[in-house]
Amino acid sequence: RIRVWLVGRDEPQDYGLPLALAWEEKDDGDETLRSLWPYALARVRVRARMGLLYDAFADERFSQGLMKMIARNARIPLGNGWLKFSATRAFHSLAGDLPEMLPVKRLALDSSNTTIAIGNRMLLKGYRRLQPGISPELEMGRFLTDIAAFANAAPLAGALEYEDEENGTVIALAILQGFVANQGDAWTYTLDYLKRFFDDCLSQQTESTVPETDESPSPHAVFLLFATTLGRRTGELHRALAQTTGNPAFDPEPITVADMTHWLDQIREEVEMTFERLQQALDRLPEAVRDLGKRVLEAQIGLPRAGRYASLAAQVLEARGAAAARSAQVEAMTPHAMKTRYHGDYHLGQVLVAKDDVIIIDFEGEPARSLEERRGKHSPLRDVVGMLRSFNYAVHAALRQVTADGASDRETLLSHAHEWEQQTRTAFLAGYTEAAGDSPGYPADPDQVRVLLELFALEKACYELRYELDNRPAWVEIPLGGLCELLSFESKDVPR
C-alpha cells in the first residue's frame, strides 16, 4: 500500500501496488527482465545477481495464484489483519475444471484499475485506489450473482479483501468475475453507428431522416432495437435491486418527505455552485463560447445586449430562477415509490454489447463520491437520467468527429442528430417502462416520473458542466445544451 499526499487535499490517498521480484536467468538471455521493464520500479542487486522489482499484476503467475486462492477461500495473516480470499456460489460453474495454467493477458482499458483476462473464463480486476469500507461493486456483485441471479450483469466469482483486525475495517483489493464474450462497449458501438450514419447523410445530402408518417420505418430501426433492449435490461436490473430479501443494505425503503428535502437541498447547492463556476471560468472558455459568454455579465448589470443571439452560457446563467422553479415543483411532492440500490454511474461505457443483448458492468459508483454515498439508496430514475445524458454525449462526440472540417456540415446534420436522439430516448424509455413500470422504485404517477427525471437531469447536467469546465473546456457546450433544454430555452446548436 502506497500513501500519497496530494496538493490541495487535506487527507492522503492510499493506492494498491502489489510487488514482485524477477531475477536474471542465464538461460533466457534476459528475455524475462526485458518483458517486465514497462512495469519495473527499480533494479535490484544481490551480490552478482541482478533483478527487477515490478508490479506483480504483470506476472501471470500472480494472477493465476490469486484465482486459485479465491477458489480455496484462503486466509493469509498480514500486518494487523488478514488477506481474505472468498468465492461466490457461482465460482465453480464459472471457472469449470481449472488446468494448472491458463493464458493471462493484461487488458489495455481506459480505467483507474488494472484488469487481467485469465483465459476466456475470468476477469481479474485489481483496485488501485484503496478505500476502507464495504466496496459497492463487490457488494452489488454478490447480491446480483448469489441472491438475485441477475443474468445481465458480469457475474462475480470471488474477491480479495484485507481485514484489519486492529480498527475493524475492510478494504477491497481485487474482484474476480466471469468472462463475458462481447463485441465491445456500448459507447464505442453507438459512436461507430452515428459516425456511419452521419457520413451517409453527408454523402447523400438528404433533407431529413424524419419519417413522413407514423407507418414509415425509421432509418434507425436496428439501433432502436438495441436501445429498447438496453432500456429493458436496465429496468430488469432495477427490479432485481428492488427485491426484499431481509438484507438491510438492499431492501427497498419508502421515499419520505425527509428524503425529498435532502435531495432538493443537495441539488440546489449543486446548481448554485455550477452557476458560480461558470461565471468564474468564462475568460478561459474557447473563444466562440467566451465572447458570447461575456454578454452574461452585461445582461446581469443591466447593459444592453446586441441582437437576439445569446450564448448558451448566457442563457444558463440567466436561468437561476428557472432552475429554482424546477426544484420547487418537487418541494411538496412525495413520490409513491421506494428508494433502492442502483448502479450509480450509469452510461454507455458501463454496458457491453453481447450479440443481441447487453451486459451491465462496473458497479463502483461515481469515483468522486465516498463509499458510503455510493452504497446509499435513491430513486433508480437517476440511472435512467445517466443513460439519457450519455445518448446526448454520444451524438455530440460523433458530430465533433464527423464535422471537424466544416460548420456547414454540422448545420446539415443537426436535424438528423436531433431526430436520432429523440427516437433513441423514446425506445430506451419504452423498454425501461415495460420492464420496471410496476416495480417498487417506479412512481405510479406519470407526472411524478416526469418531474423526477427533469430534476435528476438538472443535477446530472450541472455535474457534467463542472467536470467539463475543469477538464475539457472544449466540451462545455454539451452540458450547457442539456441545461438549456431543461430550463426551456431553445438552442439551435445543440441536439435536444
The CATH number assigned to the domain holding 320 equals 3.90.1200.10
Query: In this structure, are 363 and 279 located in the same domain?
Result: yes
Cell numbers standing for residue 165: 483486525
Q: How many residues does the chain have?
A: 496
Query: In this structure, are 23 and 96 located in the same domain?
Result: no
- Structural domain count of the chain: 3
| pLDDT mean across residues, the chain | 84
In a domain, 191, yes or no: yes
Amino acid at 97: D
What's the pLDDT tens digit per position in 26-70? Answer: 766 577 788 888 999 999 999 888 899 999 999 989 999 999 999
Structural domain boundaries enclosing 148: 60-178
Query: In this structure, are 153 and 41 located in the same domain?
Result: no
Q: Does 308 score more than 50 pLDDT?
A: no
d(CA 242, CA 229): 20
Give the residue with greater pLDDT, 209 vs 452. 452
| Helix/strand/coil for 247 | coil
Query: In this structure, are 477 and 452 located in the same domain?
Result: yes
What's the pLDDT tens digit per position in 109-139? Answer: 767 899 999 988 899 999 999 999 999 999 9
| Helix/strand/coil for 106 | strand
What does the pLDDT average to over 63-91? 94
In the DSSP assignment, the letter for residue 378 is B
**CB distance 419 to 208 below 8 Å:** yes
Query: In this structure, are 120 and 32 located in the same domain?
Result: no
In a domain, 138, yes or no: yes
Domain boundary (178, 202, 226) is at 178
Q: What is the largest CA-CA distance in the chain?
A: 83
Query: In this structure, are 148 and 233 located in the same domain?
Result: no
Residue that the C-alpha cell 461558470 belongs to? 278
d(CA 464, CA 289): 17
